[in-house]
Amino acid sequence: MTESTLPRHIAIVMDGNGRWARQRFLPRMAGHQSGVEAARRIVKCCAKKNIKVLSLFAFSRENWRRPDQEVGYLMQLFLKSLEREVGMLHENNIQLRFIGDRQNFNPKLCDKIFEVENLTRANSGMILIMAMDYGGQWDICQATRQLAVQVERGELSSAAITPDHITSKLSFADLPDPDLFIRTSGELRLSNFMLWQLAYAELYFTNTLWPDFDEQALEAALSHFAGRERRFGQSSSDKPPLLGE
Ligand code: IPE
Ligand code: IPE
Ligand code: MG
């Protein structure tokens, strides 16, 4: 695969941890733990391939609806994984960013996020986005609120608002939109991930459960992507002449 057929930005909904554990008669938590290992593997792989941005959906706004025990365990796992992986990320020149609403995280996790973002801020390699307490609708909503404030202050007229204004207030404003969206575990939905930014992403779904997603599975997704013709609304490149010869 050449540089030009590689996606610049890959967005992944890492799904299927629970089912992976159930198949092995293990508690769900074991599935989440293996999910962290898979994430580590894929981060390293993508960095090696010079992917510019990798976005991982780790916890959705809707995931707060899970039982308290599972949510508590996940929060602990995020904190421990950050503590454990920060060295590897920094050594690999990876810049780590978090998107989502941090208000509901405990102070220890918030401090760690702040610390890790600061430590890796100047890294020039891959940008790794962790989406936590994130939702695409939340993102569009907070962007809209910011624009509404500008309108209230008379800095912007409502009639002048364009998609670019909205894009500029979203969490990924300075990054290219995802070229490739991957969802594991056979579910065919976006589950409120990056709704605005996925407008022209190529969608790839696989039955592989997230803890089993490895380098080979990533290669399969990348070769599907390399075979797609991205048209962005234009006519197909092998189109017949419009009016005949
Ligand atoms: C994804 O795996 C991890 C999170 C949403 C945190 P799930 O926990 O959703 O696994 P399934 O869908 O129950 O198999
Ligand atoms: C989406 O997975 C969120 C993450 C992977 C973090 P879910 O398992 O929560 O999605 P639904 O509920 O099946 O749509
Ligand atoms: Mg799931």
pLDDT tens, position by position, 42-65: 999 999 999 999 999 999 999 999
| Band (245; pLDDT cuts 50, 70, 90) | low
| Integer-rounded Cα radius of gyration of the chain | 19
The whole model's pTM is what? 0.96
Residue among 12, 13, 14, 15 to mutate when testing ligand 1 (max atoms within 8 A of CB): 15
State whether residue 119 is helix, strand or coil. helix
- Examine residue 90 and state whether it is found in any structural domain, yes or no: yes
Structure tokens at 18: 């629970």
| Band (237; pLDDT cuts 50, 70, 90) | confident
Q: What per-residue confidence (pLDDT) applies to 241?
A: 73
- Examine residue 26 and state whether it is found in any structural domain, yes or no: yes
- Examine residue 159 and state whether it is found in any structural domain, yes or no: no
- Ligand 1 center to residue 149 CA distance, Å? 37
Q: What per-residue confidence (pLDDT) applies to 3?
A: 65
Residue 2 has pLDDT above 70, yes or no: no
Which residues form the domain of 218? 3-135+180-225
CATH code, domain carrying 195: 3.40.1180.10
Which amino acid, residue 210? Answer: W
Spot the catalytic one: 15, 133, 177, 179: 15
Specify whether 68 is catalytic: no
Write down the H helix ranges in 93-135.
Answer: 107-120
- Examine residue 63 and state whether it is found in any structural domain, yes or no: yes
Ligand approaching nearest to the C-alpha of 193: 2
- Examine residue 166 and state whether it is found in any structural domain, yes or no: no
- Examine residue 244 and state whether it is found in any structural domain, yes or no: no
Give the whole-angstrom CA distance, residue 74 versus residue 72: 5
Structure tokens at 98: 């978090």
Q: Judge whether 193 and 132 are in contact, CB under 8 Å.
A: no
Q: What per-residue confidence (pLDDT) applies to 235?
A: 84
Looking from the CA of residue 20, the nearest atom of ligand 1 is 14
| Band (243; pLDDT cuts 50, 70, 90) | confident
Residue 96 has pLDDT above 60, yes or no: yes
- Examine residue 142 and state whether it is found in any structural domain, yes or no: no
How many domains in the chain? 1
Give the whole-angstrom CA distance, residue 233 versus residue 54: 25
Q: How many CB atoms lie within 10 A of CB 158?
A: 9
- Examine residue 100 and state whether it is found in any structural domain, yes or no: yes
Q: What per-residue confidence (pLDDT) applies to 4?
A: 73
Identify the CA nearest to 28 among candidates 74, 59, 79, 83: 74
